[in-house]
Structure 1
Amino acid sequence: MTARSALRRYMLVSFLTWLPVGLMAATMVLLMTERGLGLAQIGLCTTVFSIVTVGLELPTGGLADVLGRRVVLALSAAFTVVALAMMSVSTTFWMFVASGVLKGVARALSSGPAASWYVDTLHQIEGLDADLKPGLARGGTMESVALCAGVLVGGGLPLLVPPGLMFPLAAPPLLGSLAAAVLLVVVVFAMPEPDHARRSLAGVLREVPATVVSGVRLATGRAVLRRLMLAAASSGMVLMTIELLTPGRLAELVGSPEEGSLVYAVVAALGFAGSAAGSALAPSAARWAGGSARGAIAGTALTALSVGALAATAGLGGAAGLVSAGLAYVMLFVGLSVTGLLCLELTHRAVTAAERTTVASTSSLFLQSGGVVANLTLGSLAARAGVAPAWTVAATVMVASALLFVRMPGAVDRARGSSPVQAPQARSLSD
């Protein structure tokens, strides 16, 4: 295998890994709604997915070192096939919960092995000095392309399903299951296992509790990291509230779930574009505001204003409601991306090289935890009082999180004895 061949396979696997996610994203909430679930039950299903993903993230991270990259990727694809097929035929709350569990297992298994396979393979071909950045960047680009293409196809597909053939909103997750089956075949037959250092399963499992404790202790032991973890939790609350409530709001505006899925697909694709624009604007925002912390305040303020606009326009109907909701959605992702990238830079400035992976995993845990809190609270609030109060609370949380960046402790707030880490240049990051 050549380096170019390895890159092509890595890009293909990156695309196929996220294509099923994009295909089912546009109709997931609407499908549950049409099958009789309320917002609180939908929130619980999503919470189960988040809890399973978070709980297995660290154990499955080491599993690829034990079983091999290809085996873990194949397991992830197989779980995705079953999860999305089950989702397409689910008719009860507990069936959707089971689907969420399977999706959570698949997501946790897919976190990391593909990139590790590419790095191991390239090292085997070109040596340890091989330049990894171009290939990894292309893999990340393919993930974003897959999400954007998937959400557009999945959103429009229900309108193309012939009457009487099947339930229209079930078509996207079924197509996602087929895409995952293609991924399974590609992984099994086109990804030869590279040489890499093996670890024992017992050793990996023994490290999990220590890693979790170390990450939480590290993140809560320094003022700057405590603030950044709380900011991640706030962003998680806002993200989950938007993903939970926006599809139903748009379906209500256009009059049918099938048309709502298409509108949401277009809005979500524009949201991906807004996220990319926010990443590109983040360095300028930091320069304009006079520093990364102040730039993060600006991004947080834009996010809060966007969520507030969703709440304020929740009573509008027709074209005015669609346009206002779409614009607010896009600007929200611009703001979140600005804040997220600058928080990433602040995090890297506050830790040593040996601590980066642990802190990154801990930040992901806080982000997911914020989503769990939103599912359990704001989803129920929206079911009882409507989407406007839930979005108002989310906007308030985001406004309050801006205070976390005021007088942000500098990178000198570090563990005693650690050496300073130079701040990296801000760069555009894909989702």
Structure 2
Amino acid sequence: MTARSALRRYLLVSFLTWLPLGLMMASMVLLMTGRGLSLAQVGLSVTVFSIVTVGLELPTGGLADVVGRRVVLAASAAFLTAGLALMAVSTTFWMFLLSGVLKGVARALSSGPATSWYVDTLHRVEGHDADLKPGLARGGAMESVSLCLGVLAGGGLPLVVPSGLMFPLAAPVLLGAATAAILLVVVLLALPEPPHPRRSLASVLREVPATVAGGVRLAAGTSVLRRLMLAAASSGVVLMSIELLTPGRLAELAGTAEQGSLAYAVVAALGFAGSAAGSALAPRAARLAGGSARGAIAGTALTALSVGVLAATAGLSGPAGLLSAALAYVALFVGGAVTGLLCLEMTHKAVTAAERTTVSSTSSLSLQSGGILANLTLATLAAQTGVAAAWTVAAAVMLSSALLFVRMPTGASRAQGLPARSGSG
């Protein structure tokens, strides 16, 4: 396999992995409430999804390092197909809850293996000195493009589906299930990897905890990884502050909940487009800044500035408020994508293939932990003092995290079995 062939396969899998989630995004809550669930039950279903994802992040990452990337990705696609198909036909709270469990398992299984497969393959083809940034950047951009197209298609599809054929809001979810089934076939056919030794179930169950423990020790005990995990947690705080507070802010600016929902769908699509642009620009940002760590500082500063703009313009109303919020939202996702892509590159340079997916899952867990912390604190702060105060705190957290990249150890030489050096990135 050539590097170009590996990249094409990685991009295809990245696109298909996120397309089902984009398709269901706009209609998910409306589908649940339309089938009789209260907002509290919708919230509980989403919470169960998050709990399952967080609880399985590390075990599934370890599983991918033990049994192979393709097996775990195929299992993720199968669980996602089942979860979305069940969601499309669910009529009770318990059916939606089970759907959330299946989607949570799928999300945990998909966290990291595709990127690990690409990095491993590129290392086999070009060696450990291969430049990871271009391929990872295109992969990140493809994920964002997939989400952008998915949320737009999923938001418009219910308008063209005849109500006599099916419940219109279920159509995007059903299409997402079909897309996940296509992903399953593509993963099985397009992601070859070196054969793994045959293992009994007992040996796998023994090896996965050991792999997870080793990956966690590595992330906690290695300076570069420890900093990257803290940076991921800071990003989680910002992202959750956006998810929590932006819909209500846009509804307030648009005038009604329905118009606010439409405004949020458009702004979310623009944000995903900004994320795609940020991923594509990340390699250039690193070159202009003088290294990946300095590029991450620039991305972090842009993200913090964008959240600060959201806070500063929280008092505006009408078109001016809507435009300022939309522009800040897009800039935020550009900066966040630059930082995220360069952090991903530094993470993969700091590990070997044996713990690659486990450490990626640790990073995802750190991101979600930051989100949980924001969920527990910023929502209360916003309710008591307004969204401006909550966004100000989030901006301060993000700006402070830029210090983590100052004099960042490279970590690249560790992955090649040599003593690590310090450098500016």
TM bucket by the smaller chain? 0.7 to 0.9
Q: Is the CA contact 2:300–2:399 (under 8 Å) kept in the aligned structure 1?
A: yes
Q: Secondary structure at the match of 1:419?
A: coil
Output the amino acid matched with 2:195.
Answer: H
**Aligned-pair CA distance for 1:150:** 0.8
Distance 1:352 1:150, change over 3 A: closer
Counterpart in the other structure of 2:229: 229
Q: Secondary structure at the match of 1:228?
A: helix
Of the structure 1 ranges 135-144 and 330-339, higher mean CA displacement relative to structure 2 is found in: 135-144
Counterpart in the other structure of 1:278: 278
**Aligned-pair CA distance for 1:349:** 6.1
Counterpart in the other structure of 2:338: 338
Q: Is the CA contact 1:47–1:371 (under 8 Å) kept in the aligned structure 2?
A: no
Work out whether 1:419 is the aligned partner of 2:400.
no
Measure, in 2, the Cα distance between the counterparts of 1:391 and 1:272. Answer: 20
Gaps of 5+ in 2: none
Q: Secondary structure at the match of 1:276?
A: helix
Distance 1:107 1:164, change over 3 A: same
Counterpart in the other structure of 2:405: 405
Output the amino acid matched with 1:18.
Answer: W
Q: Is the CA contact 2:136–2:345 (under 8 Å) kept in the aligned structure 1?
A: no
Work out whether 1:321 is the aligned partner of 2:321.
yes
Distance 1:12 1:315, change over 3 A: same
Measure, in 1, the Cα distance between the counterparts of 2:7 and 2:288. Answer: 38
Distance 1:49 1:423, change over 3 A: farther
Q: Secondary structure at the match of 2:419?
A: coil
Residues 330-374 of structure 1: per-residue CA shift (max 9 Å, x gap): 110111122223434554665677665554332222112212222
Distance 1:295 1:255, change over 3 A: same
Residues 65-100 of structure 1: per-residue CA shift (max 9 Å, x gap): 888877655543342233224445667776554332
**Aligned-pair CA distance for 1:228:** 2.2
Gaps of 5+ in 1: 427-431
Counterpart in the other structure of 1:149: 149
Distance 1:423 1:361, change over 3 A: farther
Measure, in 1, the Cα distance between the counterparts of 2:213 and 2:362. Answer: 10
The count of aligned residue pairs is 415
**Aligned-pair CA distance for 1:20:** 0.7
Measure, in 2, the Cα distance between the counterparts of 1:258 and 1:311. Answer: 24
Distance 1:243 1:96, change over 3 A: farther
Counterpart in the other structure of 2:38: 36
Measure, in 2, the Cα distance between the counterparts of 1:356 and 1:64. Answer: 9
Of the structure 1 ranges 151-160 and 379-388, higher mean CA displacement relative to structure 2 is found in: 379-388
Counterpart in the other structure of 1:76: 76
Counterpart in the other structure of 2:300: 300
Measure, in 2, the Cα distance between the counterparts of 1:349 and 1:334. Answer: 23
Q: Is the CA contact 1:155–1:263 (under 8 Å) kept in the aligned structure 2?
A: no
Q: Secondary structure at the match of 2:195?
A: coil
Q: Secondary structure at the match of 2:197?
A: coil
Counterpart in the other structure of 1:173: 173
Pairing of 1:196-207 with structure 2 (within 5 A): 196-200=195-199, 201-207=201-207
Residues 162-208 of structure 1: per-residue CA shift (max 9 Å, x gap): 578766554432332343344456668x6798872234232232223
Counterpart in the other structure of 2:17: 17
Residues 196-241 of structure 1: per-residue CA shift (max 9 Å, x gap): 2234232232223323332332223244433221111010121123
Of the structure 1 ranges 213-222 and 280-289, higher mean CA displacement relative to structure 2 is found in: 280-289
Q: Is the CA contact 1:311–1:388 (under 8 Å) kept in the aligned structure 2?
A: yes
Measure, in 1, the Cα distance between the counterparts of 2:193 and 2:305. Answer: 49
Output the amino acid matched with 1:109.
Answer: L
Measure, in 1, the Cα distance between the counterparts of 2:16 and 2:324. Answer: 33
Counterpart in the other structure of 2:392: 392
Counterpart in the other structure of 1:213: 213
TM-score by length of 2: 0.75
Residues 16-48 of structure 1: per-residue CA shift (max 9 Å, x gap): 33221111123445656775325xx76665443
Distance 1:279 1:251, change over 3 A: same
TM-score by length of 1: 0.74
RMSD: 4.6
Measure, in 1, the Cα distance between the counterparts of 2:103 and 2:288. Answer: 42
Output the amino acid matched with 1:324.
Answer: S
Distance 1:164 1:380, change over 3 A: farther
Of the structure 1 ranges 68-77 and 50-59, higher mean CA displacement relative to structure 2 is found in: 68-77
Measure, in 2, the Cα distance between the counterparts of 1:396 and 1:136. Answer: 28
Of the structure 1 ranges 303-312 and 373-382, higher mean CA displacement relative to structure 2 is found in: 373-382
Q: Is the CA contact 2:18–2:143 (under 8 Å) kept in the aligned structure 1?
A: yes
Of the structure 1 ranges 320-329 and 172-181, higher mean CA displacement relative to structure 2 is found in: 172-181
Of the structure 1 ranges 60-69 and 219-228, higher mean CA displacement relative to structure 2 is found in: 60-69
Counterpart in the other structure of 2:363: 363
Output the amino acid matched with 2:39.
Answer: L
Distance 1:59 1:352, change over 3 A: closer
Measure, in 2, the Cα distance between the counterparts of 1:192 and 1:404. Answer: 35
Counterpart in the other structure of 1:429: none
**Aligned-pair CA distance for 1:242:** 1.7
